[in-house]
Chain A
C-alpha cells in the first residue's frame, strides 16, 4: 500500500478496512488526522454491519394510505401538484369520531372550502378572531345581564346586591364537549364551558390521563383545524382555563387537546390526543 498521511482514504481503503482488514500505516496516520475520513469510515463500517444483519422490508398495505387520506381529509384532487405543501385539504382529526372509519373519502365539507391562499399554507397559527358574541348571548338568555365586559362586572355586582335573592350568582353553563380519543394513546375527556357571574368564560377540561412527557395544550378550533386559539396548558387531569372574551364559538366550536413537546414551538404540534365539538347549553345561540 502506498498511502501517505495527506491522502484521503479511497473507496477501496474504506471498503477493505470496514471489511476487517487492518489499515496500512499511511491510512492509519491519515485517519488520526482527518475527521472526514473517520466519519466516512465509521459510516462504511455501519453499512457493512447493517448489510450483514438481515432485516425484512415491508410494503404497507393500501389501508395505510387510505387511513392517512381519511384522517387528513385529503381529497383525490386532480389539481394537486407534487410535494408536501401542494395538496389542498385540511388537517382533520374528526371532531367526535376519533380515528374511526365512518368518514366518507373527501367528505368533511370543509376540505374544499379553503381559499386559494390557504391551499398551501393551512396554518396552525391562531388568526385574528372576528368579534361576535354568541356566548354572551347565551349568558344573557340564561338570565344574566351581560353584554360587554364592563357591563358584565356591573351585572355581577347588581346580581349580588340588588336581586333580593339569597343565592349568590352561579356560573352559567355555556356548553360542553365530549373529547373523543384521536390517537391510539386513547386519551379521552370532557370539557365544560361556563360563564362566571362576572361574565368571564372558563373552560374546565378533564382528561383521562395526564401528560407522560411534554405537556398538553387546549385549543378552540374550527372543524378543519385550520384556525386555532390556544387556551393554555393542561397539568394533571383537571384544568380550568380562561377563555378570551369575545371568542366566536361558532367559528371555533371544537375543543382540542394536543400533545406538545418542550420545543419552544408555540404552534399546534399536529398531534391531537382528543377532540370534540361543543354542544351549547340551551341552544340559545343557534343561528
Chain B
C-alpha cells in the first residue's frame, strides 16, 4: 500500500527522464516543496492536506515550468557532466533556500484522523496511510487518462519515443518538455502533500526519499510510467519485508543493495527501455 504512494512520488522522475532524457537529481526537493505548500495551507487556512494536495501540485507545477524555462532546457544539448551538475546544483539551492525560509525545525500537521485506524478483520490499517494510498490511486488514474486520452498526453509520449518524428508532425518539443517537467515535479509534490498527515516535514526531508525514489524508478525502468507503479509497489513490499527482518539501520542498506543490483543486472528495469 505504501507502494502506491511511492509510485506517485516517483512517476515524476521517470516521466522527466522518459521525455527529456535527463535525470533530475533534485526531484526529492520538489517533494519537500509540495509538503511545505500543504503544510502552510493547513497552518494558515486550516485545510486538510488531502484536500490541498491538488493545490500543491498546481503551485509546484507552475514553479516547475519556470525552472524548466530558465534552466533545464539550456542544458539539454550539453554534455552529461553539465546536466548532472545543474540538477545537483538545483538540489542544493532548493534545500538551502528552504532551510532559510522555513527554518530547520520539523513540523507536522495534526488532522482528525491521524491516529485512527480501520479494523479490517485481522489487519489494522492506519487511516492516514489508507487515505494517502487512495489519493495516489486517484492521481494515478487521472494521470493515466491524461497520458492515454488527451492530446497533450499523446504528444508527450510521441516526443518521448521519437523526438524527431514528433517535431516533424508539428509538436513543439520544447513545450512538451516544459509540461513534462512541470508535470513530473508537480506529481511528486502531490505525493508529498498526501503523505504529510503521517510524516513530518523539514527542509531535509527530501534526503530520506532520494534513494527510495531512484530505486523505484530504476526498478521499474527509467522512462516507463507503468514501471514506476510496479517499482513503487515492489519497493513498498521490499521495505515491509526488510522492516520485519532487519533493524532499521539496515533497511536503507537493503534498499540500496536492490538499487545497485538492478542497475547492475538489468539497467532498463522491469519495464523500461534502454537509453
Partners in one complex: no
Q: Which residues of B contact A (CB under 8 A)?
A: none
